[in-house]
Amino acid sequence: MSFWKKLVQKFVPGTTADSATPLEVESEIDWEALLLEADLGLTLTQKWTAALTAQKLLKKPQAAEQFLRAEMLKLLEPPAYRLILDKPEVIMLVGVNGSGKTTSAAKLTQLSLNQGKTVMLGACDTFRAAAVDQLQVWGERLAVPVISAPPGRDPASVAFESYEQAEKAGSDLLIIDTAGRMPNKNNLMQEIMKVKRVLAKKSPDSPHHTWLVVDGTTGNNVLFQAQEFHQTLQLTGLIVTKMDSSAKGGMIAAVRAELGVPTLYIGRGEQAGDLESFQPHSFVESFFGK
């Protein structure tokens, strides 16, 4: 059963696990509370609650759900394809510790290899030797080169070297794995900004993609992280990990509504192949349930 269906049982009188969503109920449903609990964020919740009120759907849960399905599908339309002519094309992954950046770098590598692209990895988390080791293990497993440095070295210099090596090798794609950073720690965020500036010196459009990796089980905290990272780094996409666990998924819509940042990939496991392109229609169907 989808999390949405559980919320309907909670907020719509007379609804059970075995019953269909009723066409109409006697008293108004607290849609604002329901949408907030679905991790849709305050801005989107207020907008959709106002729309339900205007269309007189507060007592019509089935019609309200159909309206919300259509609105979410419209909101999550995929962004226009951006043609990158530079080589290497650079993806910089950012996020807090434990969000799954390094594993996501490996998964993106596998996807790109499947598409016939050549890939190089830049291990720019020089603060944790374990992170570099983890990326090198993935590099060996996937047979792609990993550019790294001893612990404590300036991450920006590793990014610079990674770009030079990728350019020299003619790699199609360079994936930069940065250190986990709490978005409210300004000095740490400035270190990632330095990585971005150094890459831009190699190519004005680099990094071509700055993607935030978030743990889908952290709920509304995803929106806070996205707001802070976007303010500093101008995010171009989101990778949501651990969507095979207890994630509600509403934060995907909240981030798109408030920041315009699209979700590009969903992670559902720990293996290299456990990353899939975000499909709005499939997501909406999964979010609301059949």
In the predicted model, what is the mean pLDDT of the chain?
90
Give residue 66's pLDDT.
95
Long-range contacts of 278-282 (CB under 8 A, 24+ apart): 278/78, 278/252, 280/73, 280/76, 280/77, 280/78, 281/73
Q: What angle do CA 79, 84, 89 make, to 5 degrees?
A: 110
**Cα–Cα distance measured from residue 221 to residue 184, given in angstroms and rounded to the nearest whole number:** 13
Instruction: Read off the pTM.
Output: 0.93
Give residue 37's pLDDT.
93
Give residue 180's pLDDT.
80
Amino acid at 175: I
The stretch 86-100 carries a mean pLDDT of 92
DSSP letter at 130 equals H
What is the per-residue pLDDT across 186-242, written as a single tens digit (0 to 9) for each? 777 888 999 999 999 999 999 999 999 999 988 889 999 999 999 999 999 999 998
Q: Are β-strands 275-277 and 263-267 bridged in parallel, bridged antiparallel, or unpaired?
A: antiparallel
The stretch 55-83 carries a mean pLDDT of 93
Other C-beta atoms closer than 10 Å to the C-beta of 185 total 11
| Cis peptide bond prior to 207, omega within 30° of 0 | yes
Q: Does the pLDDT at position 111 exceed 80? A: yes
Share of residues in the chain with pLDDT > 90 (%): 67
Give residue 183's pLDDT.
61
Share of residues in the chain with pLDDT > 70 (%): 95
The stretch 157-176 carries a mean pLDDT of 97
The stretch 135-142 carries a mean pLDDT of 94
Give residue 130's pLDDT.
75
Q: Does the pLDDT at position 184 exceed 70? A: no
